[in-house]
Structure 1
Amino acid sequence: MKKTKQPVVILVGPTAVGKTNISIQLAKALNAEIISGDSMQIYRGMDIGTAKISEREMNGIPHHLIDILDPSEPFSTADYQRLVRSKIKEISERGKLPMIVGGTGLYIQSVLYDYTFTEEANDPAFRKKMEEAAVQEGAEALHARLAAADSEAAASIHPNNIRRVIRALEILHTSGKTMSQHLKEQKREQLYHSVMIGLTMDREALYE
């Protein structure tokens, strides 16, 4: 007998498009709990640039993976995958619908698909060198290095997310393959019965 896949709703869209308001309305209508899909909202103190939801805006809807780490603590895509899959299981067992809200594509894909991560592509000395380069040359210069080597990965990582920029460079340095190549080699089997909702608006209005 074929096992039924767990349903999961994903709500994505750029910052300021209105995800917060719509996510609360959806969560109430669908009896859902919300899991943050944003790579920066996990960090305490990073509130303004990430448009982090306030307790008042939550309106009684449980939210997960917000303000769980200090900015100095390391956090990888593999960590996110593990935590979110655990939260999906917990929420489902409570009879609620798990809903991922956010905009970090790689994080969301790592949860939905059968991605595996190896810890082999590690070089602490190279990482330290890149961290020093980020301080001396700036985040934009480091991001430009990544763009020259792996334009696909660079397009999905914000220049200010230095940790992920360095991780992508480290993978290339240690394995000889770009992060994008590693992802393309992954299995693309959907682990959940997912529905993805994408929000958008006129670009000029969004920027304003």
Structure 2
Amino acid sequence: MIPLLVIVGATASGKTAFAVKAAQILNGEVVSADSMQIYKYLDIGTAKVTPEEMQGIPHHLIDVLEPDDDCNVSRFVEMAEPVIECIYSRGKLPIICGGTGLYIDSLLKGAAFEDNSCDEQYRVELQNLAAEKGNQFLHQLLREVDGEAADSIHPNNVKRVIRALEFYHTTGKSITVQKENTFNSKYNYFMIGMQRGREQLYKSIDSRVDKMVKDGLFDEALSIIKKGIDENCNSMQAIGYREIVWYFKGRCTKEESIRLIKRNSRRYAKRQLTWFGANDDICWIDPTDDEQINKILDIAKKELTKER
């Protein structure tokens, strides 16, 4: 089995710096599991790792797609698997680093997302319904056919509500059955989570957003818009870009857009913590504690070199 170190955590929790340190100590290369850093040009707003921060450690699956391209979980897995195999074949340790829990779980545990469960025309109909009658109406439609999925998806997460309805429409099954349709992992993986106090994390998020604005986030977003990228593209739904689009469209003030970026980032971090918190495989550490870092990396090295 291919050994795989997996580093997870909420946004602004210190994953990037920890991944670089782990790669230096364990002779590894980093594979990003971030659904937005995979896009070109979205640099400041996604807190994309810089060449200086990489410190010579190769990073993969960053800047590989155009902003108007689409990336979903199955495509991510298709791209990540050969990269991981290539890193391992060169005698290096593949290190997954990211906060997109769905991507990571699907890669590790083989959750089967059926590509034949798509109906684009039906999807457009649902999108129109949401626009005309609201998110709550669409969520109620889901509850009528798949109560279990409705309980697990927030009404405002329209994309996931539509995906669940679409899956039921084409397969007659609840999308939750996908969680059960898994196979044994092909990886001998060890997971480490970045644990920071909630208040400390939120302060870090607010400070990061302020720095992003100072570093030119609004100009970056405007340059992407000027490339003709539609505001409904997947990439432009990234926190930090959609709020600025609202500002440029006159839907809110600049100050309000910054406030919304901070609020939405905190809410996203909370969802990430909930997702990863349910995973008993994760060993949580304080990324600012050098003693904990050295100890967990020593444990990881031993676990990843075991025969499986």
- The structure-2 alpha-carbon separation of the partners of 1:113 and 1:63, relative to structure 1 and needing over 3 Å to count, comes to same
Residue in structure 1 matching 2:37, options 41, 49, 62: 41
Matches within 5 A, 1:55-204: 55-132=51-128, 141=135, 145=139, 150-151=149-150, 154=153, 159=157, 166-184=162-180, 186-204=181-199
- The structure-2 alpha-carbon separation of the partners of 1:10 and 1:125, relative to structure 1 and needing over 3 Å to count, comes to same
RMSD of aligned residue pairs (Cα, Å): 2.7
Contact 1:13 1:103 in 2 (8 A): yes
Q: 1:117 Cα shift?
A: 3.5
Q: What are the ranges of 5 or more consecutive residues in structure 1 without an aligned counterpart?
A: none
Whichever of the two has the greater Rg, that structure is 2
Count of aligned residue pairs for this structure pair:
197
Q: What are the ranges of 5 or more consecutive residues in structure 2 without an aligned counterpart?
A: 204-308
Find the counterpart in structure 2 of residue 17 from structure 1: 13
Contact 1:153 1:180 in 2 (8 A): no
- The structure-2 alpha-carbon separation of the partners of 1:75 and 1:9, relative to structure 1 and needing over 3 Å to count, comes to same
- The structure-2 alpha-carbon separation of the partners of 1:30 and 1:168, relative to structure 1 and needing over 3 Å to count, comes to farther
- The structure-2 alpha-carbon separation of the partners of 1:43 and 1:97, relative to structure 1 and needing over 3 Å to count, comes to same
- The structure-2 alpha-carbon separation of the partners of 1:125 and 1:81, relative to structure 1 and needing over 3 Å to count, comes to same
Amino acid corresponding to residue 185 of structure 2 in structure 1: Q
Amino acid corresponding to residue 177 of structure 2 in structure 1: Q
Q: 1:145 Cα shift?
A: 2.6
- The structure-2 alpha-carbon separation of the partners of 1:173 and 1:133, relative to structure 1 and needing over 3 Å to count, comes to same
Distance across 1 between alignment mates of 2:81 and 2:21: 23
Taking structure 2 as the reference length, the TM-score comes to 0.57
- The structure-2 alpha-carbon separation of the partners of 1:49 and 1:153, relative to structure 1 and needing over 3 Å to count, comes to farther
Contact 1:153 1:168 in 2 (8 A): no
Percent identity at matched positions?
Answer: 40
Taking structure 1 as the reference length, the TM-score comes to 0.81
Contact 2:111 2:178 in 1 (8 A): no
Distance across 2 between alignment mates of 1:205 and 1:94: 39
SS in 1 for 2:31: strand
Point out the structure with the larger helix share: 2
